Amino acid sequence: MSLRRRVAFVAAASVGVAILIAALVCYLVVRDQLRGQVDDSLNAQAAAVQNGELRALAQSVPGIPPSAGGPAQYVQVVLADGAVALRQGGIALPVQDYTMSVAGGGSRSYLTDVHVGGSHLRELTFPISVVSDGGQDQTAAVQLARPLNGIDRILSNLRLILALLCAGGIALAAALGRLAARRVLAPLGEVAQAAQHIGETEDLTGRIQVHADDEVGQLATRFNSMLDRLESSRAALDESVRAQRQLVADASHELRTPVTSLRTNIEVLLAGAELEHEDRQRLLADVVEQSEELSALVGDLIELARGDQPVGPAEDVRLDRVASESLARARRNSPGIEFVGKLEPVIVDGAPERLGRAVNNLLDNAARHSPPGATVEITVNLDGVQVRDHGSGVARDDLPYVFDRFFRGTNSRGRQGTGLGLAIVRQVTEQHGGHAFAANAPDGGAIFTLQLPTVPVEHLGAYEPALGESGDPEPVEIP
């Protein structure tokens, strides 16, 4: 059975039970009221009879005025020996055991229903003291009876009317319950249709219309929110797959050149048994250089692939100390460049090795684009990290693309590099909740900025520089 039918059935059953209870109560109240009027009339006439004397053979039973219901239609007086001393109304009322008990001196009255000749009567039997023909008092039983046929017809008609009302009410409740269930459960039907549509077509763009702010409406709202999240997740997954495919395609293209050149040189070395010593040394130097270039490219590709993974458990990282270690490395690798740092003690939440890789790449990029003896400046403060060189800067048309993978700008062509260093910088920065920017300085050179969510180091005195390889503090020069 469908949910709509179950809801309609429950609604109809609930209304039907309520109507049946109401009809039963109504019937019982009407029946008690009608029969109560008959009982009151019989009791009133019994009181009138008991208040006076009755000569069984010579007198008739006293009646009551019409305002009190009028006298009973059927009266019968039964003596202790079972003889009927008086009968009014032309119907012989049955003499039962309780009638003889009352006539024999019992003080209890009996109010019962009797059936005589197809007539339904309400009978009251009560004791009374009568005067016999000999002037002696004796106890007798008086039977007063009123017909209930009229009341029975009224109750029969009432039962029929109430039965029709119950049947009609239940049918109407079923129809209205089905209509209400259809309207109430319509959003659930839309949810089911949307789920079926998604399962068949994998289309996440459809949404369910929210009709009301009730439980069903809240369900539709949450289903729409779930679709929004699924659509966003699917878009992110599609973008990730596209980026991975693009990375594989770009990597294949970039790897082809050094691998082809390396293979050619090795084949020449293997085939050239009569090569001059200088030519052989030159080819071997090319092989070493191409191997280093290939190793650097593979390392950057591994770093990019590793960067696609979550950062993992983060920790509080002293960004100034990371920059200080990167400064020491840059001085060792580029002794012809002067590196100057202005490092404020700040903390960033993240992975220190990845942040160090990003700062190293910025310093290496600045050193490659700086003439011998030039100065490279690095600043660490609450805004993040900023590296400035005094080289030729970045071509204006290249600025939007300097952080793209394998992009080699106009000023970078002819220089050693894989085109992945700045892409790693942007990836690391975004993983730590920041943004990477590139701009040209007004007086020449390029400025690269890593905007990171940093916080100051509280209760810290003078700056404590990081320790170098020798165990001595690394110098931090402030221009």
Task: Tell me the whole-structure pTM to 2 decimals.
Answer: 0.46
Question: For residue 458, what pLDDT is reported?
Answer: 74
How many angstroms separate the CA atoms of 389 and 377, rounded?
7
Ranked by mean pLDDT, which of 4-13, 170-179, 230-239, 444-453 comes out on top? 444-453
* 36-79: pLDDT as tens digits: 999 999 999 888 888 765 555 546 777 788 877 788 899 998 88
pLDDT at 160 over 90: yes
pLDDT at 6 over 70: yes
Question: For residue 207, what pLDDT is reported?
Answer: 76
Q: Comparing 3-12, 200-209, 414-423, which segment has the lowest mean pLDDT?
A: 414-423
Question: For residue 140, what pLDDT is reported?
Answer: 87
Domain ranges within the chain, ordered by starting residue: 3-155, 217-304, 311-456
Amino acid, res. 53: E
| Residue range 359-378: mean pLDDT, rounded | 92
* 242-288: pLDDT as tens digits: 777 776 776 676 677 678 888 888 888 887 667 788 888 888 888 88
How many angstroms separate the CA atoms of 171 and 178, rounded?
11
- Tokens for 360, please give them: 């190293």
Architecture of domain 217-304: Orthogonal Bundle (1.10)
Q: From 3.30.565.10, 3.40.30.10, 3.40.640.10, 3.90.1650.10, which CATH number describes the 311-456 domain?
A: 3.30.565.10
* 410-450: pLDDT as tens digits: 665 545 556 778 888 998 999 899 999 999 999 889 999 99
pLDDT top residue among 174 and 317 = 317
Q: For the domain covering 3-155, report its CATH number.
A: 3.30.450
With 0-12 CB in 10 A as exposed, 13-18 as middle and 19+ as buried, what is 401?
middle
SS (H, E, C) the chain: CCHHHHHHHHHHHHHHHHHHHHHHHHHHHHHHHHHHHHHHHHHHHHHHHHCCCEECCCCCCCCCCHHHCCCCCEEEEECCCCCEEEEECCCCCCCCHHHHHHHCCCCCCEEEEEEECCEEEEEEEEEEEEECCCCCEEEEEEEEEEECHHHHHHHHHHHHHHHHHHHHHHHHHHHHHHHHHHHHCHHHHHHHHHHHHHHHHCCCCCCCCCCCCCHHHHHHHHHHHHHHHHHHHHHHHHHHHHHHHHHHHHHHHHHHHHHHHHHHHHHHHHHCCCCCHHHHHHHHHHHHHHHHHHHHHHHHHHHHHHHCCCCCCCEEEEHHHHHHHHHHHHHHHCCCCEEEEEECCEEEEECHHHHHHHHHHHHHHHHHCCCCCCEEEEEEECCEEEEECCCCCCCHHHHHHCCCCCCCCHHHCCCCCCCCHHHHHHHHHHHCCCEEEEEECCCCCEEEEEECCEEECCCCCCCCCCECCCCCECCCCCC
